Amino acid sequence: MDIAQLGDRVLAGERRALARAITLVESSRADHRAQAAQLILDLSRKNDAQAIRIGLSGTPGVGKSTFIESFGMMLTAQGLRVAVLAVDPSSTRSGGSILGDKTRMERLSRDPNAFIRPSPSQSHLGGVARRTREAVALCEAAGFDVVLIETVGVGQSETVVAEMSDLFILLLAPAGGDELQGVKRGIMEMADIILVNKADGDLKSAAMRTCADYAGALRLLRKRPQDPEGYPRAMTVSALEENGLDKAWEDMQALVTWRREMGHFAGRRAEQAQYWFGEEVRHGLLAQLEREPLKGMMQALGARVAKGEVTPTIAADEIMALLGRS
């Protein structure tokens, strides 16, 4: 495969080249990894277009797919090009994976200004995440104005998506009671905008109450340097009736503009690059333990530890010494 040529076609915004490039970065074959790394490097040198990367998280059924379809259609109607990617924490999750969802996002998937890419099926979140991050960079190089990265909110996936996004949006459903739906504090602290969805019909007043509760909770959080006055904020939307989406987009743009002017936008991307560097190193070290010769040595030393012939600490030091040398 001619990597330089593939890169040029991605830069020209060719969808088939983009799809092919994403397949390349998703491959775990060593030769593909090397080509993918070259491709990403080439593109990072040649491309200076910046998309707004929007991470979107929410529990199953909250309306992520419906929101992405409505919100995406609104953006393409404004002449913007929209890419949709997903980070799936598990390959076996029930409910709609974004692939099954292509049917649900029927209008958007037929829109020539939209590009929808299902999540790579892999059980290891870290592996999927690293590749999705590269897929984001590819979409950006292909000239998409907005890249939406969806994740269902379980485990570590929100953190991973927040680390590849300029904006992190939390989608919530109207709560029955007055409890804060058990959204973890750590997740709240990552959110730039909370959208309480389904603010329509019978659910409207519950949505408004829930929104007020979350607005209150957000005000209690420690102020972050990357936020202007009034952010992070909570608002109601109806993905189904397409209400409040224009306002949500306006607020997202205002936040991005402010962060760009204040240097937080570039600053955050720089921090994220460091985060992913650390992740790659950690992942690489762990991968060494799964390969020979270290794999066999781990087993042999493990057996000796079990028999009491060597202490866990000294055995671990032996492995660490080998890692240092390899």
Ligand X SMILES: Nc1nc2c(ncn2[C@@H]2O[C@H](COP(=O)(O)OP(=O)(O)OP(=O)(O)O)[C@@H](O)[C@H]2O)c(=O)[nH]1
Q: Which of 98, 84, 97, 79 is nearest to 55 (CA)?
A: 84
Q: Supply the minimum distance, in Å, between the C-beta of residue 205 and ligand X.
A: 13
In the region spanning residues 121 to 150, those forming contacts with ligand X, defined by CB under 6 A, are none
Choose the binding region for Mg ion from 82-90, 97-105, 116-124, 131-139 (rule: CB under 5 A).
Answer: 97-105
* Residues in CB range of 186: below 8 A, 6 or more apart: 159
Q: Interface with ligand X includes 152 (CB under 6 A)?
A: yes
Choose the binding region for Mg ion from 2-10, 56-64, 113-121, 123-131 (rule: CB under 5 A).
Answer: 56-64
**Residue 167, φ and ψ in degrees, nearest 5:** -130, 140
Q: Supply the minimum distance, in Å, between the C-beta of residue 89 and ligand X.
A: 11
Rounded Cα–Cα distance for residues 108 and 82 (Å): 9
* 71-to-3, 10, 68, 167, 285 alpha-carbon distances in Å: 34, 25, 5, 15, 40
Q: Give the containing element (helix H, strand E) for 230.
A: none
In the region spanning residues 202 to 221, those forming contacts with ligand X, defined by CB under 6 A, are 203
Q: Supply the minimum distance, in Å, between the C-beta of residue 72 and ligand X.
A: 12
> Which one-letter DSSP state was computed for residue 238?
B
Torsion of CA 173, 175, 181, 187, to 10 degrees: 40
In the region spanning residues 62 to 101, those forming contacts with ligand X, defined by CB under 6 A, are 62-66, 95-96
Choose the binding region for Mg ion from 6-14, 57-65, 85-93, 180-188 (rule: CB under 5 A).
Answer: 57-65
Which lies closer to Mg ion via its Cβ, residue 84 or residue 190? 84
* 183-to-159, 162, 170 alpha-carbon distances in Å: 14, 16, 10
Q: Supply the minimum distance, in Å, between the C-beta of residue 79 and ligand X.
A: 25
Q: Interface with ligand X includes 293 (CB under 6 A)?
A: no
Q: Which of 162, 166, 238, 315 binds ligand X (CB under 6 A)?
A: 238
Cis amide leading into 118 (omega within 30): no
Which parts of this chain interact with ligand X (CB under 6 A)? 58, 60-66, 95-96, 104, 152, 197-198, 200-201, 203, 238-240
Note the residues at the interface with Mg ion (CB under 5 A).
64-65, 96, 101
